């Protein structure tokens, strides 16, 4: 597709989105790229917070909003960014994919935020991505995802599959046996995660004995557990999210299963979900994540104590998703400051400029609760140290395995034939460079 053709399509897509939303044309005109995103006279810098505070994803995403507000307060109390306070524009996405795409347009075109933080499911990320890319804007996705993308307007601070299930699957096969049953929510992340899990399991001589999906928000697991009982797996690999994850663990107990006989290995079931389902339902199961509330280091102690004693900490726990959100605010802060140092003029800074200078930006040990992380200069995902924790009877996790070294993010780890993701796009084996690859 030619560049001219692509620009026409992008412009049409944005115009169609705006028309569908009923935006007055004045919003489009006011959103001219020529107008500074930050003016010299501005006392604040606007950022969007796009998570769900209602609906089936609120069990996770509401805490993301709260910890983002906590990080903004913390940064503002230390002097803000570029001499200005951060002004959050908070949107409730209502666990509705259509709302994510509608509200990202509002944040860019009407509110004129310079960046947006949000999303927990890949479905929500993919709902906002076309609009963010068409506007050459900037979106921070602070949680795990499946990879297989190469975009120039999204920065991710959570783990990819090669930093997530890569260690977890061999660990479970070694500790409990080779037979695995896959259960996931029915959308792209669980299905792509399971493709990765199958590769990792095959590498250690394992076997998939069943695979099932439930709709997002679904709560009926009895038919699946009947199939699990017949298949007799050694462990369950779960990519069930939100309220469905709570329901699955509760029904696991009601069906008479025991975690010491049939443990669940998950990529998302952390302290927040355990809080919602009760510690008894979570005890004995496993989670792979770069962060746990129990991490024993001074920065994490400060983060946990500071957040839980703040007005935002009513949930009573911290969580990998929250910590990755906290990190994303600092990655953005450092990126904006780096862009300003390069241009010298605050009015020259654009969302895309912040993204382009963010490669290599590090959040050091004294700020990052999980320890030092940094943004890969090619694919703009995070270098981090994967860990595996087992939930105890108190709802907290004991670390049972941790990587000694940082692991590089590899969005194409099981798709090497697609090419290599670089800062300017996906470099394909035939020598082409493709941008905005979803």
| pLDDT confidence bin for 23, thresholds 50/70/90 | very low
Total length of the chain? 438
pLDDT of residue 16: 40
Buried b (16+ CB within 10 A) or exposed e, 121-141: bbbbbbbbbbbbbbbebbbbb
- pLDDT-derived band at 387 (thresholds 50, 70, 90) equals very high
Q: Give whole-number Cα distances, 282 to 11, 17, 209, 326, in Å.
A: 48, 42, 23, 25
- Residue 433 falls in which region: left (phi positive, over 0), alpha (psi -120 to 50) or beta: beta
The pLDDT of residue 4 is above 50:
no
Order of all β-strands in the sheet with 207-214: 207-214, 179-185, 235-239, 264-266, 286-289, 387-391, 397-402
What gap in Å lies between CA 178 and CA 199, rounded to an integer?
Answer: 13
- Among 305, 382, 270, 325, residue whose Cα is nearest residue 68: 325
Mean pLDDT for the stretch of residues 325-335: 98
Token readout for 198 is 């199958």
Q: Give the end-to-end CA distance of the chain in Å, rounded to a whole number.
A: 15
At 353-386, the pLDDT tens digits run 999 999 999 999 999 999 999 999 999 999 999 9
Mean pLDDT, rounded, for 254-279: 96
| pLDDT at site 33 | 55
Average pLDDT value for the chain? 92
Percent of the chain with pLDDT over 70: 92
Are 403 and 370 spatial neighbours (Cβ–Cβ below 8 Å)?
A: no
Average pLDDT on 412-436 reads 96
Residue 1: per-residue pLDDT:
37
Rounded Cα–Cα distance for residues 243 and 389 (Å): 21
C-alpha to C-alpha distance for 231 and 228, rounded to whole angstroms: 5
Distance CA 218, CA 241 (A): 10
CB proximity list for 69: less than 8 A, separation 6 or greater: 49, 88, 90, 312
When pLDDT is averaged across residues 51-64 and rounded to a whole number, the result is: 93
* C-alpha 75, offset from chain centre: 21
Grouping H, G, I as helix, E, B as strand and the rest as coil, residue 362 is: strand
The CA distance from 204 to 74, in Å, is 45
* Residues 149, 411 contacting (CB under 8 angstroms): yes
* pLDDT band at residue 243 using 50, 70 and 90 as cut-offs: very high
Taking each continuous run of H as one helix and of E as one strand, the counts in the chain are 14, 18
Q: Hey, is 86 helix, strand or coil?
A: strand
Whether 32 has a pLDDT exceeding 60, the answer reads: no
Contacts 24+ apart (CB under 8 A), 282-285: 282/249, 282/391, 282/395, 283/259, 283/391, 283/392, 283/393, 283/395, 284/258, 284/259, 284/260, 284/390, 284/391, 285/249, 285/259, 285/390, 285/391
State the pLDDT confidence band at 59, using cuts at 50, 70 and 90.
confident
Report the Cα 100 to chain-centroid distance in Å.
15
171's enclosing H/E stretch is helix 165-176
Q: How far apart are CA 239 and CA 170, in angstroms?
A: 17
pLDDT in tens, 195-220: 999 999 999 999 999 999 999 889 99
Give the pLDDT of residue 27. Answer: 37
Is the per-residue pLDDT at 3 higher than 80? no
Residues 391 and 285 sit within 8 Å (Cβ to Cβ):
yes
pLDDT tier, 312 (very low <50, low <70, confident <90, very high otherwise): very high
């Amino acid at each position: 597709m030619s560049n001219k053709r692509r620009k026409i399509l992008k412009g049409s897509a944005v115009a169609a989105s705006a028309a569908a939303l009923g935006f007055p044309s004045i919003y489009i005109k006011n959103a001219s790229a020529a107008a500074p995103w930050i003016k010299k006279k501005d006392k604040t810098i606007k950022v969007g917070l796009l998570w769900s505070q209602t609906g089936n994803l609120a069990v996770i995403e509401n805490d993301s909003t709260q910890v983002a507000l906590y990080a903004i307060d913390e940064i503002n109390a230390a002097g803000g960014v570029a001499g200005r306070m951060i002004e959050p524009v908070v949107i409730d996405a209502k666990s509705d994919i259509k709302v994510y795409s509608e509200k990202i347009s509002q944040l860019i075109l009407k509110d004129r935020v310079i960046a947006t933080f949000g999303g927990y499911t890949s479905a929500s990320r993919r709902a906002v991505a076309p609009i963010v890319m068409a506007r050459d804007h900037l979106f921070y996705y602070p949680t795990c995802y499946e990879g297989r993308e190469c975009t120039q307007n999204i920065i991710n601070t959570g783990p990819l599959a090669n930093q997530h299930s890569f260690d977890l699957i061999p660990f479970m096969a070694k500790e409990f046996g080779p037979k695995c049953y896959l259960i996931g929510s029915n959308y792209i992340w669980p299905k792509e995660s399971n493709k990765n899990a199958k590769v990792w399991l095959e590498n250690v001589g394992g076997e998939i004995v069943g695979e099932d999906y439930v709709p997002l928000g679904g709560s009926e697991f009895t038919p699946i557990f009947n199939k699990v009982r017949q298949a007799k797996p050694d462990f369950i690999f779960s990519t069930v999210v939100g309220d469905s994850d709570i329901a699955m663990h509760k029904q696991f107990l009601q069906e008479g299963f025991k975690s010491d006989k049939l443990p669940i290995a998950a990529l998302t079931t952390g302290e927040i979900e355990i809080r919602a389902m009760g510690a008894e339902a979570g005890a004995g199961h496993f989670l792979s994540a770069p962060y746990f509330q129990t991490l024993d280091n001074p920065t994490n102690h400060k983060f946990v104590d500071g957040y839980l004693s703040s007005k935002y900490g009513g949930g009573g726990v911290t969580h990998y998703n929250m910590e990755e959100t906290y990190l994303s605010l600092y990655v953005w802060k450092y990126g904006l400051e780096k862009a300003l140092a390069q241009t010298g003029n605050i009015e020259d800074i654009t969302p895309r400029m912040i993204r382009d200078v963010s490669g290599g930006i590090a959040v050091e040990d004294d700020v990052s609760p999980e320890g030092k992380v940094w943004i890969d200069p090619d694919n703009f995902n995070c270098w981090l140290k994967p860990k595996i924790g087992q939930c105890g009877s108190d709802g907290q996790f004991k670390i049972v395995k941790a990587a000694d070294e940082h692991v590089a993010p590899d969005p194409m780890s099981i798709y090497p034939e697609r090419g290599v993701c670089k800062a300017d796009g996906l470099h394909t084996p035939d020598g082409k460079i493709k941008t905005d690859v979803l």
